[in-house]
Chains A and B, each alone.
Chain A
Amino acid sequence: MPTVKITLDGVQLEVDNKKTIIEAARENNVHIPHFCWHEKLSASGNCRICLVEVEKMPKLAIACMTQVAEGMIVHTKNERVINAREAVMEFILINHPLDCPICDEAGECKLQDYAYKYSKGFSRFIDDKNHKEKRVEIGPRVMFDAERCISCSRCIRFCDEVAGVHQLQFVQRGDRVTIETFPGESLDNPYSMNVVDICPVGALTNKEFRFKSRVWEMSFTDSVCSGCARGCNIEIGVRNNEILRLNPRKNDDVNSVWMCDHGRLETWKHVNAETRIKSPMIRKEGQLVEVGWDEAIAKTASELKSFGKNEIALLGSAYATNEDNYVFAKFAREVLGTKNIDFARHHSGADDAVLIRADKTPNATGAEIVGVHPADGGLSFEKIIAGIKEGKIKAVYAMECDFASLPGVEEALSKLEFLAVHASNENATTKHADVVFAASTYAEKNGTITNFQQRVQRIRPAVTTLEQDRAMDNFEMSRWDKFAAHNDKWGKGPRRDARPSWKIVASIAGVMGTKFKYNTADDVFNEICQKVEGFKGLSFLKVGKKGALLKQSTVTA
């Protein structure tokens, strides 16, 4: 890599000669303000806020489009630059409405932040501001407010360069410039909502999250999307113990800084839903009745004992974590001694060129590696279903998987003598179940999942169940979470009596006479790291925020 020496604010640096000034500065922790420049998009150089002084250049240069050169001396904080920035801010703010109090972007708005940092703090402009269209439904999931737009063109470049569809364009000139979709088109590509994230102002907003909450009222927990085998890194935004939105989090190895609309909107609603299973249930006289944990565990243990080991089948889940699946497989092996263990696959469509994978489950790779696959002579998922139909399989214990909703399965279930399931929500399978355990969703437990690249990534709890406490269990806390008292209404969303699947399985094993000694998900993961090839040498700490590849993995993408 050929490098050049430059001086940035009096500091000598050696940087790659292909870099622009803004990139070189960023690498060395010098922040140059920018609106239109985005690290994952091409530079367009239209906002002019990144002006810096380069010695021997007659005029100020824009840092986002000026390539570094040998001996270049750059000033980013001198008086000339500061004056230029203030002038640019003044120009941008001429027509930007002063409506931060009603703008969803407030609190995470670049323009707002820069107005504090780089602006004079008052306006000399006495005429009326320009009025443009407000509340334009630019796409099915995105709302556009033309008055707030500062014409940075980030959204246009995103559609062209990342989503690969040309849906947006500038129209008009001067202060009448605005953004429109091409005639007959709408901003409806599967990645359209990323424009909301990259919009430096509140011009493009998330239609669904619109006015739901101010951002400073929420807590944000680093986690991983459960929408497909990609496992995009996300932040879960929570207020009053309810998930309100997901945002992508940067991870260059997995999802860059993007995520798809499906993942953003559809993967978390079940966590808040009314259909949540609120406590364990047992079928009594044809009806599911809420019971205590001990009763449900004892019932499952005694029922499972009453069947021969070839009459039982276990279904793990590609929706559950590595920890859940490991304990589940260990339960099959050491407690029941059955070989019939597998999990249902959920594929639909094909992999696309950006992020979306055909495998719609987050942890199919991990489930298989930690042991949820038929042992020698054991039955696979298809054969288990066939076995149920033939009457050979009489009892099924399934974890966090609505396998009854797969074609041709539901009619077979009535033949079963015993069906125990872990489920977070009511679904087709729970309708047939004899025992239902309330399982924590991915947003309520610690654990790891393995994506299609065999990258192990951490999920963290963002929503509390009855057995957890925000402060005691190190959750991310909003200001309200911190200061709410017991008699305050707010800070108290619904909390369900759910437990992570590995804990439920371990309890059943305990009743059946085999002690699984785990207190936390870390304990399970540490055991996986000792017992499962590929996981060796890993720990929660090493997995960290960006994940870690399994050993000797064959990375396919």
Chain B
Amino acid sequence: MSDDKYLQKSELIRVKDLSFLQRAYVVEILKGMFTAVKQIFKPKFTMQYPEVKVEHAASFRGRPVLVEENGTERCVACGLCSRVCPALAIEVQAGETPLAKERYPEKFEINMTRCIFCGFCEEVCPEEAIIMSNEYELAFSSQAESVFGKDRLLKSAQEMKPRLDFLRDHR
């Protein structure tokens, strides 16, 4: 039955014959040029990237970052992001800290050439410590450059407020 349905549909969208005007070609060209010329008088949508950059909404999944709060990272180095990452992009090495949270990431590295921006790390994080930012400019000239350490991953909670608020409202 499904086969029949499929056949019917494909016959419907098939245009078998063109009219005389369409076959005449010139008319169709003029129509197309008219559409193009019309656009000149309409507002512009093109963005002058990289001079002008897109500000994405809080729901955008850019590169993951680590949230820094009160001078220290929220991360407790539990390694769940590393475990859940389908691309195995994250490496965490825990260390001990005298703070109440007991452990902190001695090393936290994300291989951005592996990251697929799925947001699983953000979802699994028990501390809301790794979240997706709105940064999307990720071009590298070497393998080594593409591995982000804590120095490039840490962002203050203040700066990440839009995303944190978004997560609170929509999760």
Contacts and interface: CB of A to CB of B under 8 A. Distances in A.
Contacts of A101: 76, 78, 80, 126-127
Contacts of A483: 88
B143 interface: yes
Interface in A166-220: 210-212, 214, 216-217
B135 interface: no
A489 B76 CA distance: 22
A212 B126 CA distance: 20
Contacts of A135: 102
A475 interface: no
Q: Size range of the interface on A? A: 10 to 19
Given A101-B76, A487-B143, A489-B147, A211 B88 contact: no
A489 B96 CA distance: 23
Contact of A488 (B95, B101, B111): B111
B91 interface: yes
Interface in A133-162: 134-135
A490 B83 contact: no
A217 B88 contact: no
Contacts of B127: 101
Contacts of A216: 83
A487 B79 CA distance: 21
B103 interface: yes
A11 interface: no
A217 B77 CA distance: 13
B147 A211 contact: no
A490 B103 contact: no
Interface residues of B, number: 22
Contacts of B94: 211-212
A490 B85 CA distance: 14
Interface string B62-73: 000000000000
A211 B95 contact: yes
B109 interface: yes
A211 B102 CA distance: 9
Interface in A462-491: 479-480, 483-484, 487-490
Contacts of A487: 143
B93 to A, nearest CB: 8
Contacts of A57: none
A489 B109 contact: yes
A219 to B, nearest CB: 15
Interface string B44-85: 000000000000000000000000000000001111101100
A106 B80 CA distance: 11
Interface string B89-125: 0010011100001110000010100100000000000
Contacts of A210: 96
A106 to B, nearest CB: 8
Interface of B: 76-80, 82-83, 88, 91, 94-96, 101-103, 109, 111, 114, 126-127, 143, 147
6 contacts: A102-B102, A102-B103, A210-B96, A479-B88, A488-B114, A490-B91
